[in-house]
């Protein structure tokens, strides 16, 4: 079993985690997308999807057996208790998937692995990370990015922003913070400094 170091990447929506993730990947890091992991564990026939149907009802599934994501959204965005129960159910499956993916990347030669995870702390996978990087950006810049990226109104963008942790939370819980408030060249320079920091023992 190859050894590796897992670095967490998190932050607010619209801050630019994907750009940071791409930079790390271009510099030899293996990258795991936690959102992709979350989608993988609820594919038809998976134990996670079966557990969701058993706990929350068959109406959580579409006729073709796939997860009814609209039902899930209605459930978790309007019922805090249901959201907590849903996350408590799925996070262990996601964590296991991530650990297996990290080991596979390590076997393929990656000693440094970046985990891009918006819910890094909620899932508990932050405890697997040797260091954590948070990406932040000014609220007005984040809002414009979210609106352009997702094609939504300012009102909906603001609702998404307010549903997440504050910038102070990420600054408090991260080992290193990248403020993505400038050009692509400036972000690249900040990413390079971040790589030097996380690789320092």
pLDDT tens figures, 148-200: 998 989 988 888 888 889 999 999 999 999 999 999 999 999 999 999 999 88
Instruction: CATH number of the domain at 180, please.
Output: 3.40.50.300
Write down the pLDDT at residue 201.
61
Q: Residue 9 and residue 20: Cα distance in Å, rounded?
A: 9
Distance of CA 97 to the CA centre of its chain: 13
Predicted TM-score (pTM) above 0.85: yes
What is the reported pLDDT for 160?
83
Query: What's the total number of domains in the chain?
Result: 1
Q: Average of pLDDT values for 74-95? A: 89
Q: Which domain holds residue 88?
A: 5-198
State the DSSP code for 175: S
CB-based contact 112:4 (threshold 8 Å): yes
Question: How far lies 145's CA from each of 139, 149, 160, 197, in Å?
Answer: 10, 6, 12, 27
Mention every residue, 6+ apart, whose C-beta is less than 8 A from residue 201.
Answer: none
Instruction: Quickly state the pLDDT bin for 2 (edges 50, 70, 90).
Output: confident
3-state SS, residue 134: strand
- How many whole angstroms separate alpha carbon 7 and alpha carbon 55? 33
């Amino acid at each position: 079993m190859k050894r590796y170091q897992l670095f967490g990447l998190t932050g607010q929506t619209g801050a630019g985690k994907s750009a940071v993730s791409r930079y790390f990947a271009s510099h030899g890091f293996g990258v795991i997308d936690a959102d992709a992991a979350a989608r993988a564990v609820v594919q038809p026939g998976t134990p996670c999807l079966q557990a969701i149907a058993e706990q929350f009802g068959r109406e959580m599934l579409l006729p073709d057996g796939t997860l009814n994501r609209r039902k899930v959204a209605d459930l978790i965005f309007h019922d805090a208790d249901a959201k907590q129960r849903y996350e408590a159910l799925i996070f262990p499956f996601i964590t296991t998937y991530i650990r297996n993916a990290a080991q596979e990347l390590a076997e393929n030669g990656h000693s440094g692995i970046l985990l891009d995870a918006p819910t890094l702390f909620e899932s508990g996978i932050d405890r697997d990370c040797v260091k954590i990087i948070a990406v932040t950006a000014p609220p007005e810049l984040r809002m414009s990015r979210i609106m352009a990226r997702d094609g939504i109104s300012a009102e909906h963008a603001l609702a998404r922003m307010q549903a997440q942790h504050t910038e102070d939370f990420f600054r408090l819980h991260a080992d290193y913070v990248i403020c993505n408030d400038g050009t692509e060249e400036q972000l690249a320079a900040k990413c390079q400094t971040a790589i030097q920091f996380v690789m320092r023992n």
